[in-house]
Structure 1
Amino acid sequence: MNTITDLTGLGLRWDPSGQAGLTGPLLALADGCDRAFRRLANRWRCREEAYPATLPASALRGHLRSFPHQVTFATALDSADANLAAFTDGPVLDRDGAVALTRTAPVTAVLTPAACYHVYHARQGEQLPAATYVTTRNTCFRREPRYEPLRRQWTFAMREIVCLGTAEESVSFLADARAVVDRFTLLIDLPLDWTPATDPFFRPERHPGHLLQRIQPVKHEATYGGSLALGSVNLHHDHFGSAYGIARDGAPATTACLAFGVERWLYALVDRHGTEPGGWPDLLAAAGQAAAR
């Protein structure tokens, strides 16, 4: 198993707040992973889309109720001169390094919790004439009780491939997505197991979504080493189609996604193939073979 020293030598710059900076071999490997995931997305002729770092809080009402313990809000000071003066005249930071806030402006934005939310929000009210496939990458923010370099972070890169369509189109996409990931990981000698999973709901014993996911699994994680989820396939049924008014074939669209956590792939690849970059697999070539129809 890799040590923090191994990872630092490869270009990891770790902040104990749960954030990683990359340089050197790890940065090159991260770029290689993302290029490979984009090549996998070519199988569905995905449209590439880029989005900002935040989403309107009004677009995430359900998420805020389900995952308040993980949310990071975008906040700012109230812009009144007196309030700004009170802040600058104060300690600014307390003895523990926390910002000594004065009055804040209304909080209307949430830092991205999952890359796919932008895809649904961008298509609010649309009527889809055919199944739609999109790939996007974003920096995501999730608060956790503890952090571990490349394995569990407050901020991390997520690449997603999203399908919006009928129930049949979305289920077909997920089956194909799992098969493509299986071919890819076989080619790069990275053994993964698919395991049913549930989302980390707040007070899960009281949340109907948690019970539903246990009864009818809609999330399966691709796990490495028995515990580290490198990615997941997720079937949302018509949850987002109904919430955002997205229609397909006369009914709320069914959505599904394939998600990759980039930093976790870095950890797994180095753990499996060692700390010498020359021994790392050709990810782009493998992705091309895996995605070939």
Structure 2
Amino acid sequence: MPTAHMIEAPSPWHAGERALQQQTGVAERMEEVGRRVLRDYLIDQHRAFYPQLPFIVLGTVDDEGNPWATLRAAHPGFLQSPDPVTLSVSLAREPGDPADAGMDDGDAIGMLGIELHTRRRNRLNGTITRSGSDAFDVKVGQSYGNCPRYIQPRDFKFIRDPSASPAGEPLTLDRLDAGVRRMITAADTFFVASYAEVENGQRQVDVSHRGGEAGFVRIDEASVLTIPDFAGNLFFNTLGNILANGKAGLVFVDFETGDLLHLSGDAEVVLESPDIAAFQRAERLWRFTPRRVIRRPDALPLRWGWDQEGQ
């Protein structure tokens, strides 16, 4: 029976997430929600979901502490869950992908399983166990579902064998050139990786989806991106991580060419500013200053088109 000596389980949220929940006035409610929906295992629905996906979104941290977001693709079945606490990933190392530097044995990783044509998604974070260069396992730390809001519905097709090399070589850029700026300002979707060193001394990495109408990301003359934060689940995983360490990694996808644009740099949360009113439906903003820029032509073997039924 309960006694005064029993110790309450630690909060499911780290300090950065709790700070934003408190600022929004939902901390008490989210403490209860978090204990209920954040699981340290995959439910059967999600164990069946991952094997049908043709790509996975990954968030990692390199040896210098830079977060990177990426997409990796293969024929469905490359993701399997042999038991509820493990997701097995059959993907070869990819030296041209900056996120690959954070995929060694023992590294923390964030994962987003997302199906654009059905708008389903599941997020998890965990730790990599790797014994070879062609596959790794992830021990689940946290797993939870997300609602379909802001996901643009798109159908996919493979245009080449996923094991074949891309047609282009990675390009490291020293600035946001005109082509990069067009790719960012035309986007209706991108993915963001972030992380925090949490109270138990472990690193927790998150990668998440951001969507809106084309042009929802703005760039100023100093190459600083301003991004609206719309109404969401109030978990504040991304913004809580940014509040904790001021870093983020973004990846933009050209759905017609398979190009990936990777950005890693500094980020800040903007809770009060007259600039918020310039973004319709935004509740707050965050700003991102890229420090490292890598463009990878034809990085993905997939191409996407609009889901006519979903428009």
Please classify the TM superposition score into its range, dividing by the shorter chain length: under 0.3
Between 1 and 2, higher relative CO (CA 8 Å, sep ≥ 6) is seen in: 1
User: For the pair shown, which has the larger CA radius of gyration, 1 or 2?
Assistant: 1
Relative to its length, the structure with more helix (as a share) is 1
Relative to its length, the structure with more strand (as a share) is 2
